[in-house]
Structures are given as structure tokens and as C-alpha cells.
A and B are shown apart, each in its own frame.
Chain A
Amino acid sequence: MGTEKIFIALLTIASREIRRILRIWLQTILPPAVSMTLYFIIFGSLIGPRIGPMDGFSYMEFIAPGIIMMSIINNSYANVVSSFFGSKFQKHIEEMLVAPIPNFIILLGFVSGGVARGLMVGAVVTIVAMFFTDLQVHHTGIVITVVLLTSILFSLGGLINAIFARKFDDVSIIPTFVLTPLIYLGGVFYSISLLPQVWQKVSTFNPILYMVNAFRYGMLGVSDIEITHAFAIILLFIVALGTFAMVLLNRGTGIKT
């Protein structure tokens, strides 16, 4: 398959994914906007003033980057896991498997869909956040890079989950029992400097801490961890998950018998 044909195939998968997101916007775009609005109202407006400033910012200013990042993580993951598993369940993944598409294009196509949803939801939640606080951007380049890399990483995570999933329950186990606890303990709502020394150490094993803090650094200029360290961790995870996903696709795990 020549370069042009490969590009057309990639564009087809990516645009199909984006059309899917827009077709079911009531399931993909609106719910995160509603739930994040509630976070801003409850944690930012009602409880936030009683908590007081954190790392030199009002509580609302402090949690806004974390909440935006939380919605990007959840939605890029959810998009790929549901779309890929849906295509396995309905068997239309076979449309791609019989075609001469290299597996890395299938991977990139689904990841593009995850990134697109992450960006769309991130943009909507950012607009919501602007009704509650004056958002600042300390470093635009870092903000954009962290958003892109994080959505790529969690799209890959969603893809791997979907490859292994055999029933609908398998699609929700990781988000419920792994992703959500890691997000909540990843410094979205607090600075880890508030934790005892031991728990600060434990928190450094949570990869989401690095993404939330890198994004917060891009927005506010403060972070619990070194920014270069954060980028290294994110890239490392992308390479590891990307390689693992490729191995699974090449083997045909979960999609071929």
C-alpha cells in the first residue's frame, strides 16, 4: 500500500471516529460538560472558599487545570475503548482487517479519534471553567503538548482495554477500578505537598500525577514535580503502551481466532 493510500485509510478511520463522536454528542460531549460544571460549583464555588488558597492560588484556580485534565483523560480513554470494543462486538472491525491497512494505521486511526474527543471535551470544559474563574495560561506550548500527549496515552490505554475486552463489563472495569482512583489521587483536587512524606512518595508512582502537574504548570506556572521529569514519564508510557498495542494487533489478540 503506497503512502497516499495509507494516508487515505488513516483519514477514513479518523474521520469515521470523529463523525461517531459528533453523531452521539449527547453521550460523548454533553455529559462531561454537565459533570464538570457540578465539580466547579461544588468544589470550586461552595467548598473552595472555605479551603482557602493552594500553592498561592484560589482553590478554584488551582483545581481548574486538574478538572480539565481529568475530563481529557476520561474521554480519550472512553472514546477508544467503546468505539473499538463496539466495532469488535458488531464485527465491523472486520472491514478493516480484510483491507490492506497496516496495523499501525488502525492504531493511529483509533488514537486520532480518542485525541479528537479529548480535545473537544477539553475545550468544552475549559469554556465552562471560564464562567467560574479567570483562566490563565503560563506557557501555551506546554499546555498544548501535555494535552496532546495525555490524550494519546489514554487513547492507547483504551485501545488495549478494548482489545482484551470480551464483554461490556470488561470495558468499564479499568475506568472504574483503576483510572478513577488514580485520577482522584493524582493531584486534581490537592497539592501533594499537603500529604505526609510517605504518601507523597507513594503518589509519585501514580502516572496521572505527572500529567495533571505538567498541565497545571502550563496554566499556572506551579507544579509539585519537575516538568522535564513529567514529560519523560508521559513519553515513556506512550512508547510502552504503543508498543504493547502494536504487538497485540500484530498477533490478532482479541480480534482474530
Chain B
Amino acid sequence: MKALSIENLTKTYANGLKALKGISLDVEEGDFFALLGPNGAGKSTTIGIISSLINKTSGKIRVCGYDIDSDFDKARSCIGIVPQEINFNQFETCLEIVLNQGGYYGIRRSLARERAEKYLGQLGLWQRRDDVSRTLSGGLKRRLMIARALIHEPRMLILDEPTAGVDVELRRSMWDFLTGLNRQGTTIILTTHYLEEAERLCRNIAIIDHGLIIENTNMRGLLNKLSNETFILELRNRIPENFSVPGHETRVLDEHCIEIDVGKDQLLNTLYEELTRLNIEVLSMRNKSNRLEELFLTLVDNKQNS
């Protein structure tokens, strides 16, 4: 069963901007799916169309088997949306916001209250339920939007950059919450600029650029496309002059730090053996950048060059 099926979706704005140029995409039920792309690629437009906030120009969208045009009430009942920008009434309390959203989905007040307690509790907001929402911090406002999106217990949750501007601790607890939700069967579609987040959470991925899907595969398959990785090594001893490691590209960053490329087929064991042979002692080793980030930049660059 497909949680989301997009067929040849296009969107041209009134100013003539072609934001989507015919994208097709399937997301299976239960998936944790990443929709990535640079700014202005068309991610938010796609999400806006799925959630009925933007009118599409052409194409078809089905959510959990329901057409968003002809079966709009069933389709919308299957979707929970956590938008990029804060979009609740900043003069209402947290509880009012969540209960009202339940009301818009036709949920009785008593049931909405039960669920509000559950989700505000899980997201650490129940103690602040009577606080006016504008008094919350940025991270808590995002959590409130997640609780609001879950009040009707949707089968598919779409989060548009949910951790933007959120501190590390809150971000990690949000990851844990979303992972738990996904394990319980909720399909999650995530857009994010933190590629580490996508790599850690998502099983499948689509990359969108200039209104077109340029990659749509599973995360492992995508990462396998990475031809080499760059590591940064911190060394105990000073780096000798004319330093080089056979079979690897190296760049000296300072007298105790080097950058070294390791090909997809090269073993780290061999690299360490070679360093030992050269009497180089390694204090620490880390990726220069996130693997997905490297791949993402390569794909987007290739697309732009072509």
C-alpha cells in the first residue's frame, strides 16, 4: 500500500516561476522518507500541494489511496502536517491550539483532550498546556506543531524542516520521538537541511532540484554511490616534509593534521598499516563532512553542470 503517490505533478506560480516540472514519487506505507533539495528546489511547494495549501497546476496525488481532489476529506484525514514556519495562533494556549485542531477534524472534545494529554505529554508540553503559545521557545513551538499534527492520529506525517533552529538536545529527543512514531506504523516524510538527520532517520530518499526529482532510491543504495570519503586525521607527531601515503590523495591542513581520501574499495586497515609503516601515530579520525552531504552536493552540482 502506498502512503503517497505523486504522478507528473507540475506547479507554475502566477509570476511564471515553474516550481515543479512534472515530478512523480511513491512513498510506501510505514516508510521513513527523506525529501531533500537545495533552497528553492520545490520541496515546500510539493508539501504545500499535498496538504492542500497550494493549488497544483497539473498532476495527480493520492494519499493512502485517496485522491486529494475527489476524496479530499479522506485524503486530508490521512495527513498530518508540520510546516516550516510557525502557523498557530500565538495568542491561544497550547491546549487550545491542539484541541481546536482536533475540532477541525471533527474529533469530539473528550477524545481530543485525551489525545492532547498523550501527545503534549510525550513532547514535554503538558506542563505548559495553559501557557500562551507565543511564550514558548522556538524548539517548543516546533514540538507544539508536531502535537497538533498528531491530534487526529494521521497515517502519514509530513515534517518540513522540523529541527531548523532547534538545539542539539531538543533535536535528538525529537529524532527519538519520530523514530518511535514510525515504529508504531506512521509513515513519515521529512524535509531537512541537516543531512546527518536524513541519513540517521530515513530509509528511502528523493532529491529534488529545480523542480525535478534527480534521485529516488533507498539510503543504503545512495550512499554506495559515494566513490570516496574524506577523513581528517589528527596526528601525534609532526608531519614530515614531502609526506604522502601511497594509493591515497592527502592534503596537509597543519603540522599535526591531514586530510586523506579513501576510495570506496579501499580498506581502512590498509591505510592504518601504511601509516604505521611511516611511523605516523593517529590520535583521532573523523569524516570531513557527512557522507550524504558529499553525495548530495555531487548530485546537485552534476545536475547544475548538465
Contact = CB atoms under 8 A, between A and B. Distances in A.
Contact of B74 (A12, A16, A19, A100): A100
A221 interface: no
Contact of A98 (B52, B88, B107): B52
B91 A23 contact: yes
Interface in A79-107: 87, 90-92, 94-102
A87 B89 contact: yes
Nearest to B19: A257
B55 A252 contact: yes
A256 B56 CA distance: 10
Contacts of B13: 257
Interface in A1-50: 1-2, 4-6, 8-9, 11-13, 16, 19, 23
A192 B103 CA distance: 48
B53 A94 contact: yes
B88 A92 contact: yes
Contacts of A19: 96
| Residue of A1, A102, A257 ringed by the most chain B CB atoms within 10 A | A257
Interface stretch (B76-84, B178-186, B206-214, B263-271): B76-84
Contacts of A8: 103, 106-108
A5 B83 contact: no
Given A94-B87, A100-B76, A12 B52 contact: no
A5 B106 contact: yes
B90 interface: yes
A interface bracket (residues with beta carbon within 8 Å of B): 20 to 34
A95 B73 contact: no
Interface in A88-134: 90-92, 94-102
| Residue of B54, B72, B106 ringed by the most chain A CB atoms within 10 A | B106
Contacts, number: 81
A252 B148 CA distance: 23
Interface in A238-253: 252
B105 A99 contact: yes
Interface in B155-183: none
A101 B76 CA distance: 9
A100 B72 contact: yes
Contacts of A12: 100, 102-104
Contacts of B76: 98-100
Given A2-B106, A4-B106, A87-B89, A95 B54 contact: no
B101 interface: yes
Interface string B9-23: 000011000000000
B55 A100 contact: no
A56 B85 CA distance: 61
Contacts of B73: 1, 100, 102
A28 to B, nearest CB: 13
Given A8-B106, A12-B103, A90 B55 contact: no
B51 interface: yes
Contacts of A96: 104
B291 to A, nearest CB: 35
Contacts of B79: 98
A90 B89 contact: yes
B54 A5 contact: no
Given A4-B106, A87-B89, A257-B13, 9 more contacts: A8-B106, A9-B105, A12-B103, A91-B86, A92-B88, A94-B83, A95-B101, A100-B72, A257-B55
Interface of B: 13-14, 48, 51-55, 72-74, 76-77, 79, 81, 83, 85-91, 96, 100-108, 148, 152
Interface of A: 1-2, 4-6, 8-9, 11-13, 16, 19, 23, 87, 90-92, 94-102, 252, 256-257
11 contacts: A8-B106, A8-B107, A9-B104, A12-B104, A87-B89, A94-B87, A95-B87, A95-B100, A101-B104, A256-B54, A257-B54
